[in-house]
Amino acid sequence: MDQNVTHNGSGANLDNNQNDNNMASLLEKEGLGIDFPTQGEIRKGIIASITPGQILVSVGTKSEGIITGKEYELIPSDELANLKVGDEISVYVVNPEDQNGNLVLSYMRAREEESWQEVEALQASKQATHSTILGYNKGGLIVPIGGLRGFVPASQISLTRRAGVTGDTPEQRWGKMIGQEIDVCVIEVDRERRRLILSERQASTETRESVKERVLEELKEGEVYLGRITSLADFGVFVNVNGADGLVHMSEISWERIQHPSEILKVGQEVKVKVINIDHEKKRIGLSIRQLQSDPWDQKAAQFQVGQLIEGTITRLTKFGAFARLAEDIEGLIHISEISERRIEHPKEVLKEGDICTLRIIKIDPSVHRIGLSLRRVDSMAYADMDWQALEGILDEDTAVIAKDDDQPTAEEPTEPAPEA
């Protein structure tokens, strides 16, 4: 009895296994044993048909998947025009089965996912990739990588490309770069924020030092260039010219006295500079802004000439002489040897601050803004002819004024009335 039961049980198991195999074969035959797609999966598929508003794609299931609605509309018109039946494409599974039983697919989402995978691989490998500048914004350049838009901040643009940047607005600085080819490295990927940061500098083989060496060879002393201020310091400003920074010392910023460059300049400002010194050994570039401006001292000093007598106010005494103010912002020096005919040890023996003196101009040197004065030569016969000519000029002016006054009627001397007809 037990043997029969056992025998019958074994036979039942064999029958069940055979039935299972038959069912698996049947399911496979009917297409029910296929690995069905899951949501979010990317698969390769073959385009089965293309009709207005709809693309059918065979992805290995019993029925084709469908790209329709907004997923169809997202496909750029130029790409849509290039798709044809039989093409193999990547598709993203949006919904394995919608309410109508359709397998809903997306062409553009697959493109995007593959692009994210591509940029993540580029970031990991630190390899450069080639692209074309598509656009710009306030802070830098827009560069496409696959189906994504990457951003190259201004600080990550190569030194060579930045050397040609001019203008105050983004359009002026970056607009002319649209369409230019560019090599970039991926330095940041953030899918959640859809953030892709690129760097041309990391992809560039030209280092800061090599750029400076090149610029040092290109620049010529005495030539004028357009540059952009990169930083301000107590001792001057640094200006980028053709990709390398040069220094405008405080003394070369302005003819007017300033305490700090920030009083008249700011970072990012475009300025014209003159190259006044190039030190190839120390790799330094000396620049000047003020040498491209008219010197106000020249205009103010134009009223003076050597030999002229002028009134001045003593402003400061030193062991080597005295300074006298001749006009606003114009001072001259009376050397100690020009103060008195007798030998003195210090100007204070003859002068004091605030004294108003008649002085003789004995030297004018515009290159160093210096006027030499003399107190002891005021009555020198060497300038007798000049003094006489100056006196004649004054007398002529006074005579002309008197003659003009005589011609004008006064209140006490009314004009004679016209005779009656």
Domain ranges, ordered by start, for the chain? 42-112, 126-203, 216-292, 297-383
Beta carbons within 8 Å of 174's beta carbon, 6+ residues apart: 136, 140, 141, 165
Give me the half-sphere count of Cα atoms (radius 13 Å) on the Cβ side of residue 70: 2
* Three state DSSP letters for the chain: CHHHHHHHHHHHHHHHHHHHHHHHHHHHHHCCCCCCCCCCCEEEEEEEEEECCEEEEECCCCCCEEEEHHHHHCCCHHHHHHCCCCCEEEEEEEECCCCCCCEEEEHHHHHHHHHHHHHHHHHHHCCEEEEECCEEECCEEEEEECCEEEEEEHHHCCHHHHHCCCCCCHHHHHHHHCCCEEEEEEEEEECCCCEEEEEHHHHCCCCHHHHHHHHHHHCCCCCEEEEEEEEEECCEEEEEECCEEEEEEHHHCCCCCCCCHHHCCCCCCEEEEEEEEEECCCCEEEEECHHHCCCHHHHHHCCCCCCCEEEEEEEEEECCEEEEEEECCEEEEEEHHHCCCCCCCCHHHCCCCCCEEEEEEEEEEHHHCEEEEECCCCCCHHHHHHHHHHHHHHHHHHHHHHHHHHHCCCCCCCCCCCCCC
Sheet holding 195-199, edge to edge: 128-132, 181-190, 195-199, 148-153, 140-145, 135-137
Domains 42-112 and 126-203 share a fold: yes
Write down the architecture of domain 126-203 according to CATH. Beta Barrel (2.40)
Write down the architecture of domain 42-112 according to CATH. Beta Barrel (2.40)
Q: Tokens 């979010």 appear where?
A: 40
Alpha-carbon span 338 to 335, nearest angstrom: 5
**C-alpha 310 chain-centroid distance:** 51
Beta carbons within 8 Å of 170's beta carbon, 6+ residues apart: 136, 137, 138
* Digitized pLDDT (tens) for each residue of the chain, 421 residues in all: 344 333 344 444 444 444 444 544 554 455 445 567 889 889 999 999 999 999 999 998 888 999 999 999 999 899 899 999 999 999 999 999 888 889 999 999 998 888 999 999 999 988 889 999 999 998 899 999 988 999 999 889 987 787 667 777 888 888 889 999 999 999 999 988 999 999 998 887 666 677 788 888 999 999 999 998 988 999 999 998 988 889 999 999 998 888 999 999 998 898 999 999 999 888 899 999 999 988 877 878 888 889 889 899 999 999 999 999 998 778 999 999 999 989 999 999 999 999 999 999 999 988 788 899 999 888 888 776 776 666 666 555 555 555 555 555 554 545 455 555 4
Alpha-carbon span 378 to 360, nearest angstrom: 5
The CATH number, out of the four listed (3.40.50.720, 2.40.50.140, 1.10.630.10, 3.40.220.10), of the domain defined by the range 216-292: 2.40.50.140
| Closest C-alpha to 75, from 59, 91, 64 | 91
pLDDT in tens, 240-258: 898 888 999 999 999 888 8
Which pair of tokens denotes residue 362?
Answer: 């004995």
The CATH number, out of the four listed (3.40.50.720, 2.40.50.220, 2.40.50.140, 1.10.268.10), of the domain defined by the range 297-383: 2.40.50.140
| Closest C-alpha to 59, from 90, 81, 84 | 90
